[in-house]
Structure 1
Amino acid sequence: MTLDHTDQLTAANPAAQPILSSATRALGRLAELGEPVDPTLREAVTALAERPDADLADELLRLLAPHLLLELTVGRHGPETLVQHGEPARLVQGGWNSFLLCAVNPGGLEATFSVSGGGSDVTRASGMVTRPYLPDRIEHAATIRDKWWYELKLDGPGALTGRELEFFVISLHSRDAGRRAAPITVSRTGRPNDGTAGDSWTQTQRRRLWTVGSASVDVEVDAVPAHDVVLDVRDADGRTCVASIIAKDDLGRVYPNRGLRLAPDMFFQDQVYRSSGEILQLPAGEYAITAWRGPEYRPVTTRFTVDSAGPAPLAVQLDRWIDPAARGYYSGDPHIHGGGCSHYSQPTEGVSPETMIRHARGEAIWVSSVLTWGPCYYYQKQFFTGRSISPPAILEHPSHQEANGVTWQPQPTQTDRESVLRYDVEISGFPSSHSGHLILLGLTDQDYPGTSVLEDWPSWNLPIHQWAQAQGAFTGFAHCGLGMATPSRELPNFDLPPFSSIGSNELVVDVPHGAADFIAGAEFGLAAEMNVWYHLLNTGFRTLMLGETDFPCVSDERPGIGRTYVSLPEPPAGDRALEAWIDGLRTRSSYFGDGRSHAFDVALDGDQSREQRRSAAGPVRLTATVAALLPEQRPEPSVPDFDYDLAPAELTVASDGSSDWDASAWHLEWARIGDTRTVAVEAVVNGQAVARQEIVADGTEQEVSFDLELERSSWVALRLLPSLHTSPVFVEIAGRPIRASRRSAQWLHDCVDQLWEVKHGFIRPAERPAARLAYDQAQAVYAERRDESEVD
C-alpha cells in the first residue's frame, strides 16, 4: 500500500517547483537512455505548477505511473519502506530498461543512498584486490543460475536533497526471459544533514545513525526474449576465423552485459571473441557492430538491426591492411597471463588454455606465452606441458555456462592452427621479484631444484637465469621500464635510474654473466624502457628487446597490444613452435612495437644478416620495406582503436622514481607529424638517430634507404617511435668488437653500485656474498669494456 501523499505534502506545504523540476529531469534522462517518453508528458508535468499543493503529489504520480517502478518512503533515519508500482515491469532479455524511483521524504532528510540487487550482490571477492569474480567451482552453479540473472544500476549519485518528493532513474538488465522476482534494496550510505547527530552525540552514536536504514522489496518483472544473431566471420581471404566483436547500442551500452559474463567473455573488456557459426544474443534494437583482429586490421563497423521478428545472420568481413606472415614475419606476445590481475583470481585461480587461445586467435597472434606467476601459480602451473599447444576454443565450465543461459556452441575455424600457446613462468611474486620480474621462455622443467613452494626460490635473479638457460630457455626482464624512469627523456641519457620497481633492475648485473637474453616492453615511456638497452648495445652486448602486453595486468584491453615480429623460414607450428620463434629471435631479423607499423627485410648493402663483418670503415646503405597505417584524420576518442583519454602525459618522476607514463605511450598516433598522415622513420647508429625519412602512413609498403658512414664497429637499427623498433644489425669492422661509448660502459658500471644500494637488503643474508661477488664481476666487465672503448 502506498502512503497518503496528499496529507504528507499538504502538511509539509512544499514548494511545487523543485519537485516538478526533479520529475522533468528524470523524464529527460529516461528519454536519453532510450525509453519511449511521450513528449507531451513533460509539458503536463510542468503544468502542474498551477495546481494546489493538495493535488500535486497524487496528480504527479498519476502522470508518471507508466514509468514509475518503485516508491521509497524516507523516515528520520533513512529508508523505511519500498514498494513496487503497477504491473510487473517489462524488461527485455539481454538488454537494459530504465524506470523511475520516487522518494517520499516528508522530514526533508539530506543523505546519500545506494540501490543494490542482482549479480553485484554475489560477485564480490578478495583476490589481489576486491573485484567481480567468476564463481566457477562446481558448487556455484546454482548461484549462477538462481542469482546471476539481473543487474541493477542507479543513474547518477543517489542523493536526497531534502525535497519532500523527488525522482531518480534506475536501470535493470535481465539475463533471462520470463517472469521473475528481483530483490532490490535501498540503503542510506551518507551522513544525514538533519540535526540529529549534533555535537552532543558520541562518535559511536553518529556512526550507528549514519549506517542504519534500509528498505527492500521483491520487484516482479517480465522479460521478453532476445534473439540469437548467428555470425559469419571471415578473414580478408575468405577463411573463417575468430575475431574481436564489440556490439553497442546507440547509447554506447555494450552487449553482452559485461557484469554478467563468464569466460571466455571477460567482464573487463568491451569485446567478445566469436567465430563463424557462433552467436551474439541481442534484444530488439539498433546496434553498431565493430570487428577487427588486432592492429594488422582496420576496424570495420556495421549498423545492424534486430527486430521483433528476429534478426538475419550477420556477415562480418574483416579488413586486413597488412599481412606480415605473407612476408615471413610471425607475431608473438611473450607475456600474457591466464590468472591474476584483472582475471578472476578466485576460487579456481584464473581461466583455462581454451579461453586464452580464443583471445590469441581473435587478435591474430601466432605465438603467445602464457606465464604462470605468483597469484594463481599453484593452479595455473598444471597447464605447463613443456611444449606449444593449440587447443580447441571450447567453453570452460560448461555447467556454469548452461546455468548462465549460454546456448551457443564453439565452432572451429580455418585459421585456428595459426595460433599457439606455450605455458611458461614469470618470476613475479617470488623472493627475487624485487630485482625485476623475469620471463622464462621455453622451459622443460618449471620447478627450481630443491623447492616445493615459491618462498623457497632464490632471492636474487642470476641463479634463476642460469638454471633456466641450462635447459635451453630464453630469459629476460618483463615490463622493463618500471623503476627505470629518470627526469631525462633523452635516449640515451646518463641519469642513474632509481631501480625503484620491478623492471630492468638486475639486468645490469646479469648481462655481463651471459644471462638475460632480452628485455620486454613497448608499454611505458621510451627512455625509461630503452635507455639501458641502448647502453648495453653500445658496450657490445647482444641483448634484445621485445614487445609485450603483460595482459591483463599492465593492460587488460587485449593481448598483443605490444608484440614482436620474427622472420622465420616457415610458420611456427607444432610442439616446438615457440622454440622455432625463439631461434628466429636469436639469429634472424625481428622488430617490435604496437603492430601499427612494420619493417621488413632490413639490410646493409643488401645483406640481411644480424651479424656482419667488414674489413674497413666506410659507407653503407641501410634499406628496408616499411609500412604504417594511420587514419586520414586524427580519430575521435570514441574510435575503438584509439582513445585520447589514454594519452601519455609529460614525463614526471616522483621521489620514488615512478612516472606517470601509461601503456598508451606506444601508439603510432603519437608519431603523426602535425595534422598530416606523415610519420618519420629514423636510422639509428650506436643509439643516435643519424638520418630520417618521412613516409605517408597509408598502409602501403614503401621502400626506404639511408646512406650511412660507419667509422667504427657499430650497431645499426631502424625505428619509428613510439610504434616500431627493429632488432640491431651488429657490424664489426677490422676485427674490432663493438665498443661504441666509454660513457655507456661507465654508466652501466655505476648502475651496479646504485642497484646494490637499493636492492641488497632484500637478498637473503646467506645468498648475499655470492650476489656481491657477481655484482663485482659485472663491474669488472664494464670497466674492461670502458677501457676498450674508442670514443666517449
Structure 2
Amino acid sequence: MNTFPVFWQSRWVAVIGLVLVDWLLGRSTIAQSAKPVPLEVVVTTTTSPKPTPVRVRLTRAGRVVGQLPQQALGVMYGLWDHADGFGFQPDSSFYVNGRFSISLPPGTYELFLSKGIEFIDQRHQLVVQAGKTQKKSYLLTRWIDMAARGWYSTDGHVHIRRSPREDPLLMSWLQAEDVRVGVLLRMGDFWETYYPQYAFGEPGVYQRENHLLVAGQEDPRTPELGHALGYGASDKVRFSKEYYHYDAVFDQLHALGGVTGYAHHAETFHGYRGLTLDGLRGKVDVLEILQYCVDANPLRTDHYYHLLDLGFPVTATAGSDFPWCGQDHDHGSPEHSARIGNARFYVYTDKPLTNQAWKAGLKAGHTVATSGPMLDFRVNNARPGDHLDVKKGTKLVISAQAFGHATQVPLEKIELVGHGKVLASVTKREPGQSASQLTLKLDLDTLTRGIWLAARCFAGSQQAAHTTPVYVTVEGGGFHNPETAEKYLRRSENYLQEIEQELEKESQNPELRLWYYKKGLKSRIADTREVIEGLRKKLR
C-alpha cells in the first residue's frame, strides 16, 4: 500500500522532474561548451606568400594534444626499422605543408612553430572560443640565409626506409627543418640490413626545388671497430663474408664515386680503432665530429685532431642519426628528442644545388659542421677544405666570423685553432662583439712550415660549430704537426694493440666476431704499422 499522500507524491514528481530537466539542460550546456571548434592555421615566411613546410607542436596546460590534423605528413620510422612512429615525431610534434585544420574543445592552447635552425622559433597562445571558427596566419622569419651564400645544409645521418612513394613526404619533412640535403642511410650489421633505399647514386636522388634526398650507407657496423659511413656512391657495398674488412668496402665505395668515413666521432663502438686502421692508410675522407649520440656535448674533436696532426686531410661532417639520437637524449626531455637536422653540416658550392655539385663540394672539403652557430672562415681567402701552398716567410691573413641569434643561438665564443691549439679567441663580452655576431682576425707572420687551421664556435646550451681546416703547406711540404706527431703515433700503436687483444678473444657471442677475421686483420695491422714507421721518419 502506498502510504505517501497524493500531495507529496505530486511534489516529488515535480522536484524529480525539475532536477532531471536541470541535469539535461546542464549536460546540454556542457556539451555545447565542449563541442570542438575548427581551427585553421596557415604558415608562410617573410620571403614567400606560399604556405611553407613547418614543424608544429600543440599543447594544452603543458600536455600534448594527442590529435593529428588530417594534413599531418606521416611516414613510418623507428629504431631498428620498426614502426615506432608515423604522424607524430618523437617529441609529439608533427609536420605539415604550411597549413592544417583541426577541431579542438574550447580552451587555451600553446602552438609551437619551427623550421630548422636558420629560422626563429615561434610560440603562440591560442584561445579557442566556443562556436567560433578560429583562423590564424603566422609568418616565419629567417635570422640567416646560408643557401643565399652558397652554403647548403645537410643532415648526413638519417635512418628512414623509402620508396618513390615516400619521397614527397620525406622531402616535406626535410623542408620543415630547412635541410637542403638529406642523406638517408641504409644501415647494416653482421646479420642483415635495415632502412632499405630503393636506389643509389643518381637514380636514388629525389629533388624538389633547392632540396635533395640522396642515399648512402652506414655499413659495416661493429662494436669492435665502429660504424662506417659511405656517401655519394653509385651503389651500395656490402661484403657479408668479409664483414670486418672495412677497407674493402671503402675501396669499392671510392671506385663507385663515393666518399667514406666514420660516424659518432669515431668515439662510440671503438670507432677510433677502425679510424686508425683505415685513416692511417688514407682510406678515410670524412669524420662525423658533431652529433648528440655520445653525450650532451655535441662537438668532439680528439680523434679528428689526431688524424689532422699526422697530416691526413679529413672533412668535418655531422648528422642527427634520426630517429636514434637527440639533444640531451638520455634525459628524455620532449624538447630535446630526436629530430632531423639537429646536427648538420653545410657544403659550399658556387653552382646551383644538384647532387653532383653537392658531391663536388663535399669531396673538396668545403664544409662546416654545426648544431646552431654559422661560421665564415678564410685564410688568404681560401675556404675550409682548400689546400694553400705558400712560399717560406709568407704572411697569412686569417678571418673568422660567427653568426647567431641573440635568443635562439646566443654566441659565446669563437676560436681560431691551429694544430689543435687555440691561437686566438674572442667572446661576446669583448668590445665590438655580441651574442649575434663574433669577429676574429689574426695575421700569422713569416710562416716557415705547414699548419692546418680551422675555426670553431660555441653558443647557447649544447650548440657548437667547427669548420674543416684550411691546409697550409710551405713550398710543397706537409701540414702535419711535428710537436704532437710522436704522441699520436704512440696512440695509434696503442689502438692497434687493442685490436690485437680483441683478436685473441674467441667468443660465441654473435655480436662479437672480430676474432673470426684474425688473419685478414693481422695483415691490415701490419700494413698500418708500416705506415706508422714511415710517418715516424717523415714527420720528425
Q: TM-score, normalised by structure 2?
A: 0.78
CA contact (8 A) 2:108 2:127 kept: yes
Query: How far apart in 2 are the matches of 1:610 and 1:623?
Result: 15
2:390 is matched with which residue?
614
1:629 is matched with which residue?
405
State the Cα distance separating 1:230 from its structure 2 match: 2.5
2:364 is matched with which residue?
587
Query: How far apart in 2 are the matches of 1:90 and 1:469?
Result: 71
Given the superposition, is the C-alpha separation of residues 542 and 281 from structure 1 closer, same or farther in structure 2, using an over 3 Å criterion?
Answer: farther
Is 1:789–2:539 an aligned residue pair?
yes
2:475 is matched with which residue?
734
State the Cα distance separating 1:229 from its structure 2 match: 2.6
Matches within 5 A, 1:462-481: 462-481=247-266
Query: How far apart in 1 are the matches of 2:503 and 2:340?
Result: 32
State the Cα distance separating 1:473 from its structure 2 match: 1.2
State the Cα distance separating 1:727 from its structure 2 match: 0.7
Structure ID, larger Rg: 1
CA contact (8 A) 1:507 1:516 kept: yes
Match among 285, 290, 295 for residue 517 of structure 1: 285
CA contact (8 A) 1:439 1:477 kept: yes
The SS at the match of 2:265 is coil
Is 1:719–2:500 an aligned residue pair?
no
Query: How far apart in 2 are the matches of 1:735 and 1:481?
Result: 30
Is 1:568–2:301 an aligned residue pair?
no
**% identity of equivalent residues:** 19
Query: How far apart in 2 are the matches of 1:327 and 1:688?
Result: 29
For each residue in 1:376-399, what CA deviation from the matched residue of structure 2 results, as whole angstroms up to 9, or x when unmatched? 9767425334335447xxxxxxxx
Query: How far apart in 1 are the matches of 2:453 and 2:53?
Result: 38
CA contact (8 A) 1:437 1:503 kept: yes
Given the superposition, is the C-alpha separation of residues 588 and 532 from structure 1 closer, same or farther in structure 2, using an over 3 Å criterion?
Answer: closer
Is 1:243–2:51 an aligned residue pair?
no
Is 1:704–2:440 an aligned residue pair?
yes
For each residue in 1:55-88, what CA deviation from the matched residue of structure 2 results, as whole angstroms up to 9, or x when unmatched? xxxxxxxxxx99xxxxxxxxxxxxxxxxxxx99x
Given the superposition, is the C-alpha separation of residues 280 and 686 from structure 1 closer, same or farther in structure 2, using an over 3 Å criterion?
Answer: farther
For each residue in 1:576-634, what CA deviation from the matched residue of structure 2 results, as whole angstroms up to 9, or x when unmatched? x2x4223212225321120x21112x222333371011121454221133212242xxx
Matches within 5 A, 1:29-178: none
State the Cα distance separating 1:303 from its structure 2 match: 2.1
CA contact (8 A) 2:54 2:96 kept: yes
The SS at the match of 1:298 is coil
The SS at the match of 2:389 is strand
State the Cα distance separating 1:703 from its structure 2 match: 4.1
Query: How far apart in 1 are the matches of 2:123 and 2:241?
Result: 52
- RMSD between superposed Cα atoms in Å: 3.6
Q: TM-score, normalised by structure 1?
A: 0.54
Given the superposition, is the C-alpha separation of residues 437 and 389 from structure 1 closer, same or farther in structure 2, using an over 3 Å criterion?
Answer: same
Counting matched residue pairs gives 472
Query: How far apart in 1 are the matches of 2:522 and 2:386?
Result: 34
For each residue in 1:6-60, what CA deviation from the matched residue of structure 2 results, as whole angstroms up to 9, or x when unmatched? xxxxxxxxxxxxxxxxxxxxxxxxxxxxxxxxxxxxxxxxxxxxxxxxxxxxxxx
State the Cα distance separating 1:517 from its structure 2 match: 1.1
Matches within 5 A, 1:259-658: 263=75, 264-266=86-88, 268-338=90-160, 352-374=166-188, 380-387=195-202, 388-390=204-206, 417-427=209-219, 432=222, 434-448=224-238, 456=241, 458-483=243-268, 501=269, 503-523=271-291, 524=294, 529-555=300-326, 556-573=337-354, 577=355, 579-587=356-364, 589-594=366-371, 596-600=372-376, 602-608=377-383, 610-617=386-393, 619-631=395-407
Which residue identity does 2:382 align to in structure 1? D
State the Cα distance separating 1:324 from its structure 2 match: 0.8
CA contact (8 A) 1:256 1:280 kept: no
Query: How far apart in 2 are the matches of 1:253 and 1:764?
Result: 48
State the Cα distance separating 1:699 from its structure 2 match: 6.7
Structure 1 gap segments, 5+ residues each: 1-64, 67-85, 98-220, 340-347, 392-415, 450-454, 484-500, 632-640, 642-667, 669-676
State the Cα distance separating 1:678 from its structure 2 match: 5.7
Given the superposition, is the C-alpha separation of residues 315 and 699 from structure 1 closer, same or farther in structure 2, using an over 3 Å criterion?
Answer: farther
Query: How far apart in 2 are the matches of 1:305 and 1:698?
Result: 37
The SS at the match of 2:401 is strand
Structure 2 gap segments, 5+ residues each: 1-18, 76-85, 327-336, 506-511
CA contact (8 A) 1:564 1:590 kept: yes
The SS at the match of 2:90 is coil
CA contact (8 A) 2:380 2:396 kept: yes
State the Cα distance separating 1:701 from its structure 2 match: 5.0
CA contact (8 A) 1:739 1:788 kept: no
State the Cα distance separating 1:319 from its structure 2 match: 2.0
Which structure ranks higher in relative contact order (CA pairs < 8 Å, sequence separation ≥ 6)?
2
2:8 is matched with which residue?
none
The SS at the match of 1:297 is coil
CA contact (8 A) 2:314 2:468 kept: no
State the Cα distance separating 1:239 from its structure 2 match: 4.1
State the Cα distance separating 1:439 from its structure 2 match: 1.5
For each residue in 1:179-211, what CA deviation from the matched residue of structure 2 results, as whole angstroms up to 9, or x when unmatched? xxxxxxxxxxxxxxxxxxxxxxxxxxxxxxxxx
Query: How far apart in 1 are the matches of 2:155 and 2:515?
Result: 37
State the Cα distance separating 1:272 from its structure 2 match: 1.2
Match among 493, 514, 520 for residue 749 of structure 1: 493
